[in-house]
Amino acid sequence: MSANRYNPAEIEPKWQQIWEEERLYQSSVNPEQPKWYALTMLPYPSGDLHTGHWYAYTPSDAAARFRRMNGYNVFFPIGFDAFGLPAENAAIKHGAHPARWTFANIERMRGQLRRMGAMWAWEQEAVSCDPEYYKWSQWFFRKFYDAGLAYREYAPVDFCPTCNTTLAREQVWGDDRHCERCGTPVIKKDLEQWKFRITRYADELLDGLAQIEWPERVKTMQTHWIGRSAGAEVLFRTESGDVLEIFTTRPDTLWGATFMVVAPEHPLVASITSAAQQAAVAAYQEQAARMDEIQRGAADKEKSGVFTGGYAINPVNGERIPIWIADYVMMGYGTGAIMAVPAHDARDFAFASRYGLEIRRVITGPDGARGPLEAAYDAKEEGELIQSGPFDGTPVRGAVERVIEWLEANELGRGAVNYRLRDWLISRQRMWGAPIPILYCPSCGVLPVPYAELPVLLPDDAEFKPTGESPLRSHASFRNATCPECGGPAERETDTMDTFMCSSWYQYAYLSPYWKRGEPLRAEDHPWDTAAGAYWLPVDQYTGGIEHATMHLLYTRFFTKALRDLGVVDFDEPMLRLFNQGMILGPDGEKMSKSRGNVINPDDVVGRYGADTVRGYLMFIGPWDQGGPWDPQAIEGVHRFLQRVWTVVVEDPQLRQPQLDAAHRPDPAQERALERKLHQTILKVTDDLQHFRFNTAIAALMELNNALYKVRESAVANSTAWNQTLRNLLLMMAPIFPHIADELWHRQGNTSSVHLQRWPDGDPDKAREEQITVVVQIGGKVRDKLQVAPGTAAAELERAALLLPNVDKYLNGRSPQKVIVVPDKLVNLLL
RNA sequence: GCCGACGUGGCGGAAUUGGCAGACGCGAUAGACUUAGGAUCUAUUACCGCUAGGUGUGGAGGUUCGAGUCCUCUCGUCGGCACCA
């Protein structure tokens, strides 16, 4: 009897095994077939799969399966982003090598991932901490180095005191500038660090957004992050004759500059400062430097600054204006110096108000106002320039461009563009990452490790101590090397690469994992199988969380553009389409966390309901990009649905008694109704799945099954429509509920997998209703309804409406002044 | 402070171009079947009202024959940026 009950614990492992044995999901290059590279952000092997993984992966699997049934050759790989700090922390705690911890976790997670029943191409799995993987990460570094895209710089950098490493700017989050990983506020340090010249691609990273189908949210975040602003660089001079260059987006307000502000760290401060102001300036500089360590940019803090005692000459009008230092001017942006135009800049206005500096209006108000200002007026559209020498009377709209031309003609400045984006800092003072392949030779200087000597391997005997320092620094045989130039002793770089480096190219690694395994590398190698790349690349559909908007998703775009310029790829963007799923929350609507005690363990729920139910429930909660709370009761609904599908199929009257009494002929109208419902469902589900609307697709499947359920005891169950509906229901369930679909598919007598079938075609003619309801309103209120054939003419609808008894009652002898008829929708009679 | 998204039953959420608000599911209520039911099946379930009917998509206005959907203002929640000149 048990064989006839829905028992996911029995059928799910069975089908997973069959699929794997039959290599059902391994796809290979086939030029005859359109390809679809479906990619989902790879997991970090933290040790346990959580509900968030299920929420990210099972819908993306359903989407990939749907594509496959629609005739695409789908490549859907998986791997592990396996470098990172937790492994190192575990090593310190337990004394085991990070590799052991990592590979044990990977092994465990492979099993958990398999239980999802996803169509991953496991044979092409890639693990980023495998030397055969990171040798290519190092090869890319070397390529970037040779191309001038990787460089070393001594500069102030963000440092996380908990992770004991520097971070890229993208990895510092929030108003308290905390570490993206551990939440600790970062501090500033001056250090020698390796960076990638992502800023070289700033404009292209902006422009490229136009050619990819990514969520606007992500595009906006990247646009803001890159922060392109156009303006001018203008050459001021100090009284002592030094050039003091400023950047401004409003060169049209140059005549309104009443003072200048330079960053406290500006190199000219010392020479500008007068003897009398020296003490005050030094004190302010010291205070600013200290603030840096704590929090310089506390947003609503009142502006402060100190007069240097020095003056500059405004090149456009020869005026002598005071130079101040203030911490609201940053050394890291523009030139670290600004002209202050308090009349037309809110920050300068606040500063000038506090210190009693002149506020000179140089743009009239929209109404022509020329009087004193109560607040900064920064409009660019209305008004004209005043007190601006040759530009008096110039409309402010377009004035920026005209002033730039004038500055260039007079050699006082030039048009310039600044970006908020900074170069990508990739050095990490941690052991568990890909070593940066660089050597330092006392006589030959900084040298890249020769290609043939890659990879620079991580030692397997490193000592892990809770000192906070990378074990590579104290590992003599790692650190001591031979100079490839002079053969003398050299020292190895002990910093490793940011793990975002490894994940910037993993979509390529999957094509031919561990390419050229064991072979020495050469500069002219290609880092993956070019035949596979030519067919599969770029990625057609990428899915993952939005938290990577300005990290991974920016880095991988940069990486691809850099590879294109190196001749490695021939396209501009790595991922053509992106979808960001939302976040699954605990039953209390809060983020799942151990401390809150609201964690749902996927292993438990899979054990109770099976993977298909969990998959379906996660997709049923709501729109995938919205996320939402896990409701431990609502999952029952999806489970019941599967039970009912099971019952309909397994207890199919035709399976029990194929020849029903000839007297029990199905009612043709009922049969047509079922067929209609089927085609409506196919059209709906097809459209929904194309757009990741799993929740409404499942609702439609439930409706279809309810329709079947309602007539299963009737003679309709002995009709072609019934058979067709049952068959197509299973086909449509296959992407979301892969196990039960295949099981029932076989129980229906089919021999090849449901996952090898073509997606059904919905027929709009068969889906069309025979009768539709047209609402009859009087004065906008629904008073009656008409049942008519679709497409009934407006005149006919109006005539029929006027004959309705309710209409007669409400009109009460009056005749409508106006009649609005929308065919197939409504008749509105206005009095 | 700036930018963006979102506010719909007790709950998660549905609603082409403006055209029957509340699909589907959870929960709830009643009944059936049962030794039992936290299984299953059937019915009901936005709110007020005995009915007729009225009221309802965060709030206030507006456009329209007609607004969850469009416009203006406003409140709330979430996310991004944070003196970027």
pLDDT digits (tens, 9 = 90+) for A730-786: 999 999 999 999 999 999 999 999 999 999 999 999 999 888 888 888 888 888 888
More reliable by pLDDT, A449 or A794: A449
SS3 A205: helix
What is the pLDDT averaged over residues A163-174? 90
Q: Which of residues 637-696 of A touch strand B (CB under 7 A)?
A: 637-638, 640-641, 643-644, 693, 695-696
Q: Which of residues 138-177 of A touch strand B (CB under 7 A)?
A: 173-175
Say whether the CB atom of A620 is under 7 angstroms from strand B.
Answer: yes
Structure token pair of residue A460: 């397997």
CB A385 within 8 A of CB A392: yes
Query: Which pLDDT score is estimated for A79?
Result: 98
What is the pLDDT averaged over residues A310-318? 94
Question: Quick one: pLDDT band at residue A174, thresholds 50, 70, 90?
Answer: confident
Say whether the CB atom of A628 is under 7 angstroms from strand B.
Answer: yes
pLDDT of A293 over the 60 cut: no
Report CA(A705)–C1'(B42) in Å, whole number: 17
Report CA(A66)–C1'(B11) in Å, whole number: 31
Question: Quick one: pLDDT band at residue A436, thresholds 50, 70, 90?
Answer: very high
Report CA(A634)–C1'(B11) in Å, whole number: 9
Query: Which pLDDT score is estimated for A365?
Result: 83
Query: Which pLDDT score is estimated for A418?
Result: 93
- Alpha-carbon torsion, ordered A605, A608, A609, A611, to 10 deg: 60
pLDDT digits (tens, 9 = 90+) for A223-233: 999 999 999 99
What is the pLDDT averaged over residues A272-298? 80
SS3 A69: helix
Question: Closest nucleotide (CA of A337 to C1')?
Answer: B85
Class at the top of the CATH hierarchy for domain A772-830: alpha beta
What is the pLDDT averaged over residues A543-554? 95
Query: Which pLDDT score is estimated for A36?
Result: 98
Say whether the CB atom of A301 is under 7 angstroms from strand B.
Answer: yes
pLDDT of A404 over the 90 cut: yes
CB A25 within 8 A of CB A75: no
Report CA(A797)–C1'(B54) in Å, whole number: 28
Query: Which pLDDT score is estimated for A755?
Result: 98
Query: Which pLDDT score is estimated for A657?
Result: 53
Radius of gyration for the alpha carbons in chain A, expressed in angstroms and rounded: 34
Q: Give the residue among A788, A787, A815, A817 at the shortest CA–CA distance from A802.
A: A815
Say whether the CB atom of A417 is under 7 angstroms from strand B.
Answer: no
Q: Rounded to whole angstroms, what are the CA distances from A184 to A44, A288, A515, A590?
A: 21, 22, 39, 21
Amino acid whose CA is nearest the C1' of B25? A637
pLDDT of A658 over the 80 cut: no
Report CA(A799)–C1'(B53) in Å, whole number: 26
CA A526 to chain centre: 28
Query: Which pLDDT score is estimated for A319?
Result: 94
The amino acid that residue A40 corresponds to is T
Say whether the CB atom of A777 is under 7 angstroms from strand B.
Answer: yes
Query: Which pLDDT score is estimated for A448?
Result: 97
Say whether the CB atom of A82 is under 7 angstroms from strand B.
Answer: no
- Phi then psi for residue A649, to 5 deg, are -75, -50
Query: Which pLDDT score is estimated for A120?
Result: 98
Q: What is the DSSP track for A330-366?
A: -TTSTTSEEEE-GGG-HHHHHHHHHHT------B--T
Query: Which pLDDT score is estimated for A250?
Result: 94
Question: Closest nucleotide (CA of A626 to C1')?
Answer: B6
pLDDT of A656 over the 80 cut: no
CA A813 to chain centre: 64
Task: Give the Cα separation of A716 and A673 in Å (integer).
Answer: 10
Report CA(A616)–C1'(B25) in Å, whole number: 12
SS3 A128: coil
pLDDT digits (tens, 9 = 90+) for A179-235: 888 888 888 888 999 999 999 999 999 999 999 999 999 999 999 999 999 999 999
Report CA(A785)–C1'(B57) in Å, whole number: 24
Query: Which pLDDT score is estimated for A439?
Result: 97
CATH topology of domain A610-616+626-767: Isoleucyl-tRNA Synthetase; Domain 1 (1.10.730)
Q: Which of residues 571-600 of A touch strand B (CB under 7 A)?
A: none
CB A363 within 8 A of CB A396: yes
Q: Rounded to whole angstroms, what are the CA distances from A560 to A110, A151, A201, A212, A222?
A: 29, 18, 11, 14, 16
pLDDT of A299 over the 50 cut: no
More reliable by pLDDT, A255 or A654: A255
Question: Quick one: pLDDT band at residue A660, thresholds 50, 70, 90?
Answer: low
Say whether the CB atom of A771 is under 7 angstroms from strand B.
Answer: no
pLDDT of A300 over the 60 cut: no
Say whether the CB atom of A621 is under 7 angstroms from strand B.
Answer: yes
Task: Give the Cα separation of A731 and A738 in Å (integer).
Answer: 10
CB A676 within 8 A of CB A767: yes
Structure token pair of residue A303: 């502006």
Question: Closest nucleotide (CA of A644 to C1')?
Answer: B40
pLDDT of A320 over the 90 cut: yes
Question: Closest nucleotide (CA of A327 to C1')?
Answer: B83
CATH topology of domain A229-418: Isoleucyl-tRNA Synthetase; domain 2 (3.90.740)
State what percent of residues in chain A have pLDDT above 70: 97
CB A346 within 8 A of CB A377: no
Question: Closest nucleotide (CA of A180 to C1')?
Answer: B80
Report CA(A774)–C1'(B45) in Å, whole number: 26
Task: ipTM value, please give it.
Answer: 0.95
Say whether the CB atom of A416 is under 7 angstroms from strand B.
Answer: no
Say whether the CB atom of A222 is under 7 angstroms from strand B.
Answer: no
Say whether the CB atom of A622 is under 7 angstroms from strand B.
Answer: yes
Say whether the CB atom of A354 is under 7 angstroms from strand B.
Answer: no
Say whether the CB atom of A472 is under 7 angstroms from strand B.
Answer: no
Report CA(A493)–C1'(B72) in Å, whole number: 62
Instruction: Tell me the sheet residues that pair with A323.
Output: A260
Query: Which pLDDT score is estimated for A296?
Result: 52
Q: Give the residue among A101, A92, A89, A95 at the shortest CA–CA distance from A45.
A: A101
CA A455 to chain centre: 31
pLDDT digits (tens, 9 = 90+) for A88-132: 999 888 888 999 999 999 999 999 999 999 999 999 999 999 999
Orientation of helix A552-565 relative to helix A216-226, angle to 10°:
70
Mean pLDDT over each residue of chain A, to the nearest integer = 92
Which letter does DSSP use for residue A25 in this model? T
Nucleotides of B under 7 A from a protein CB: 1, 3-5, 11-15, 17, 19-21, 23-27, 40-42, 54, 65-67, 79-85
Domain boundaries, chain A: 229-418, 610-616+626-767, 772-830
Report CA(A641)–C1'(B29) in Å, whole number: 22
Question: Quick one: pLDDT band at residue A1, thresholds 50, 70, 90?
Answer: very low
Question: Closest nucleotide (CA of A546 to C1')?
Answer: B79
CA A635 to chain centre: 28
Say whether the CB atom of A320 is under 7 angstroms from strand B.
Answer: no
Report CA(A495)–C1'(B62) in Å, whole number: 63
Report CA(A209)–C1'(B59) in Å, whole number: 38
Report CA(A776)–C1'(B20) in Å, whole number: 9
Report CA(A118)–C1'(B17) in Å, whole number: 38
Report CA(A630)–C1'(B5) in Å, whole number: 22
